[in-house]
Structure formats: C-alpha cells, structure tokens
Amino acid sequence: MSIIPQIHSSKKNNVQILSKNINSSDFLELLSDDDLNSIIENNLPEHRKNIYTPARTLSMFLAQSLNEDRSCTKAVNDLIIQQQRQKNMRKISSNTGAYCIARKKIPLPLVSQLTTKIAGLVHEKTPKNWLWKGKRVHLIDGTTLTMPDTPENQKEFPQPGGQKEGLGFPICRVLAVSCLSSGVILNAAISPLKGKGSDEQTLLREVIDTFKQGDLVMGDAIFGTYFLLAEMIKRGVDVLFEQMGPRKKIPILVEE
C-alpha cells in the first residue's frame, strides 16, 4: 500500500474513533466559544429555560448525527447518562417527545450561520503547505436531495412533474463551495429543482462573495460562461473549468 492510501485510512479511522466517543456535552462546550456563542445569541428563538434549550438541543442533534445509532431514543438516553455522571439530580424523562419538538424549533439561520462560520475558521487556519502553489482552491458543484414528504416541503420544493401525486418526494437542488485543502463546505445555496432561479449558475451568484482575490475556483463545463468568467476576472479570482464539448478548442501557445 502506498503512503497516500495509508494516510487516508489513518485519518478515516481517527474520525470514526472521534465520532464514536464524542457526546453532546463536548459539542455544547464547543458552541460556548466566543466565535460561535455570538451567533447562537443572535438567533435564539423565544424559549423557556427548560432542559432542551436551543444550544443543548443543537449539541444533541450534532452528536446524534455522528453516532452509529442515530435514534432520538439514543440521544435522550445519552443525555440522561451524562446528567447522572455530573450528579445533576434534575429528573429527565426518557420520552423523546420533548426533544423532537425542541429539535424542530432550531432556527435554520442558526444552523447555516454556524456552518459557514466554522468552515471559515477551519479555512483560515489551513496550513500554508496544504495550499496549491500558495493558492486557496475552491471546488464548486451541484447536486439534488430528496426531502421529507410534508405539505410545506412540497410547496417550497415540488416533486418532479413525472411523478404521480403521493408517490414522490420533494426534491431540491444544492450548489456547494468546498475547500480542496481542508474538505470543509464553505458555503451553499438551495433552490427548487425546476423553475426560475433554480439553475446552478444562478445559485453560484448567491455564494460568489465566498471567493477572494487570489483564489482558484474549479468546476465543470456548465460554469464556463462569458459572464461568470468576466466577473471572476474583475474580482481577481482565477478559474479552471472544463470546456463545453460543442465549443471550438483554440490551442494556446506558451512561450519557452
């Protein structure tokens, strides 16, 4: 086995070990950091000072997402165990109803702002020797995701027209900007699958301020339009896009 697969395997194992051992208390401590706490304070919804505060609920949700057993029962039971270890005598019911209700009340702006803030912090602290020729390389690409079949989601993100009513799921289009060096998602935009403003070019314009002067952006052929190239040149951002098949290939002569 060459050195690169060995490094990849080692890092993957480390992540798996961390995900198994981390709990909601660890996330709650991380969310108390000054860089993140201000975002939480600015996005706190009205709530009672009960067990499932927004910060605790979010920390439980994060731990739940990383756990092999992603059930709400496991999340609540873990909280009960943690409270017992801390000799907290407040009784917590093992019923998951209150936790599920609190989880639904987590504001979307809170999650999205924390995501971009954390990604930004990781991006800023990326070692210089991880960069490509001193440049921060961004990857842009789009995909689609299915969503829970609720009336609200069907209204905002209708299922494809080819599917019969009641037999499909809401579907959205997502465009993400990721960092090649660290692997973090720096920003993302979401839209319905079809309709005005749902194409990847439009979604890219929503997150274009993610790119800074001197950055390098890589994407597939769909992004290689004149208007985007002109905008990137204006911003001092280098780009590398695949050339669309029908376009005439012009050889570029490089002087020795």
Q: What is the pLDDT of residues 157-211, one digit of tens each?
A: 888 777 777 778 899 999 999 999 888 999 999 999 888 878 899 999 999 999 9
Please give the CATH number for the structural domain made up of 126-241.
3.30.420
The string over 80-111, giving b where at least 16 C-beta atoms fall within 10 Å of a residue's C-beta and e elsewhere, is eebbeeeeeeeebeeebeebeebbeebeeebe
Average pLDDT, the chain: 84
Given this model, what pLDDT does residue 196 score?
83
Pick the more confident residue, 44 or 224. 224
The token pair at 12 is 């993957």
**Domain residue spans in the chain?**
3-107, 126-241
Report the C-alpha gap between 122 and 163 in whole angstroms: 41
What pLDDT score was predicted for residue 250? 60
* CA–CA separation, 240 and 230 (whole Å): 13
> Any idea what DSSP says for residue 161?
T
* pTM of the full structure: 0.76
Virtual CA dihedral for 159, 160, 163, 166, nearest 10 degrees? 10
Q: What is the pLDDT of residues 117-171, one digit of tens each?
A: 988 888 888 888 889 988 999 999 999 999 888 888 888 888 877 777 777 889 9
